[in-house]
């Protein structure tokens, strides 16, 4: 199965639709509650719930997800109700429209569970109507909408964020060690549609770090990411250097980073990372280890780019 351990836990929703075509006679029997197998829609709803819960057992690559909410609507196919969903050829027929919607808070979406639920509900209706109707047909099952995760976060990368990456490391600055975390950060930012205008390596020296950050602020670099110097060592000066010049704290960013990291290693609690703004520039300090830097960015990208809108006075948005 695909590895989704790097994904953020978010609210994810999905809506799906399907039709079971049937005769006018079947609709009359449903309305008069005279079907041989009893009440139709309550049973179909229950079958849909079971189908959703069993999706990972039916589809090998589907991860088990928590279904935090699910519901169905059953309506007789009609032009007034469904002209936004189907074309005239379909609207001229008789049948039952099934719509399902679901919510889940997790690392992967719930669209397959919703599609499976609608499909199973349609099969249940087929089973209950087949003793009285030989014209049954299931079709037009499709996803109407999904939100959350990658598709929903694309709005944060509609415009390219302008970034700078500062590697703070005595050993890297002296040439004793090759930089990996800084280059990784550059790659991850560019993958998120950001532009990395500057990349620089400095020793973990407070004055040098502060001067470089303030120079980039004057240049109106939108986001500055540092790597290194966030631990408890005697030469871990980056956090102190950045904290002294911040105008506003953004503790929620570092809370998200540590929470995300703590789910993966207990060592995440040792990070002293800080985040905040100077003018209209957001600065985020990231760990010096490659894994720490990667997981920290996984926790905040691309949502962190929305900070620029807030710093320009546009508010939280939606």
Q: Which residues are known catalytic residues?
A: 127
Give CA–CA dist 151/233, Å, rounded.
40
The structure tokens listed for 232 are: 């408890």
Phi and psi for 288 in degrees, rounded to 5? -85, -20
Whether the CA torsion 142, 146, 149, 155 is positive or negative: it is positive
Q: Which helix (H) or strand (E) holds 195?
A: strand 195-202
Give CA–CA dist 16/99, Å, rounded.
6
Find out whether 154 and 47 touch, Cβ atoms under 8 Å. no
Find out whether 109 and 149 touch, Cβ atoms under 8 Å. yes
Q: How many CB atoms lie within 10 A of CB 151?
A: 13
Peptide bond before residue 302 is cis, with ω within 30 degrees of 0:
yes
- Per DSSP, helices labelled H in the chain are 24-31, 41-53, 55-58, 79-82, 88-91, 111-129, 149-153, 170-173, 181-191, 206-218, 238-245, 251-262, 290-300, 307-311
Q: What is residue 63's DSSP assignment?
A: P
Q: What is residue 8's DSSP assignment?
A: P
The structure tokens listed for 58 are: 């039916």
Residues with Cβ within 8 Å of 10's Cβ and at least 6 positions away in sequence, in order, are 105, 106, 148, 149, 152
């Amino acid at each position: 199965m695909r590895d989704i351990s790097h994904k953020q836990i978010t609210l994810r929703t999905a809506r799906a639709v399907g039709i079971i075509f049937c005769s006018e006679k079947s609709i009359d029997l449903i309305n008069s509650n005279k079907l041989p197998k009893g009440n139709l829609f309550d049973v179909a709803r229950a079958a849909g719930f079971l189908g959703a819960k069993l999706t990972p057992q039916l589809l090998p690559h589907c991860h088990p997800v928590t279904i935090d909410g699910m519901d169905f609507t059953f309506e007789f196919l009609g032009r007034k109700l469904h002209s936004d969903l189907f074309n005239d050829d379909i609207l001229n027929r008789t049948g039952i429209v099934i719509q399902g919607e679901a919510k889940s808070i997790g690392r992967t979406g719930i669209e397959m569970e919703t599609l499976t639920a609608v499909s199973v509900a349609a099969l249940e209706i087929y089973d209950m109507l087949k003793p009285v109707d030989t014209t049954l047909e299931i079709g037009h099952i499709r996803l109407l909408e999904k939100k959350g995760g990658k598709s929903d976060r694309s709005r944060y990368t509609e415009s390219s964020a302008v970034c700078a990456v500062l590697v703070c490391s005595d050993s890297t600055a002296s040439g004793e060690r090759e930089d990996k975390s800084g280059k990784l950060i550059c790659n991850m930012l560019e993958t998120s549609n950001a532009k990395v205008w500057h990349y620089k390596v400095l020793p973990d020296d407070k004055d040098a770090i502060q001067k470089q950050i303030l120079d980039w602020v004057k240049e109106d670099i939108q986001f500055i990411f540092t790597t290194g110097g966030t631990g408890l060592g005697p030469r871990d000066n980056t956090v102190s250097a950045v904290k002294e010049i911040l105008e506003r704290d953004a503790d929620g960013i570092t809370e998200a980073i540590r929470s995300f990291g703590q789910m993966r290693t207990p060592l995440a609690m040792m990070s002293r990372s800080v985040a905040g703004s100077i003018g209209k520039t957001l600065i985020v300090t990231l760990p010096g280890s490659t894994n720490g830097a990667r997981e920290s960015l996984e926790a905040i990208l691309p949502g962190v780019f929305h900070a620029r809108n807030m710093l320009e006075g546009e508010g939280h948005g939606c």
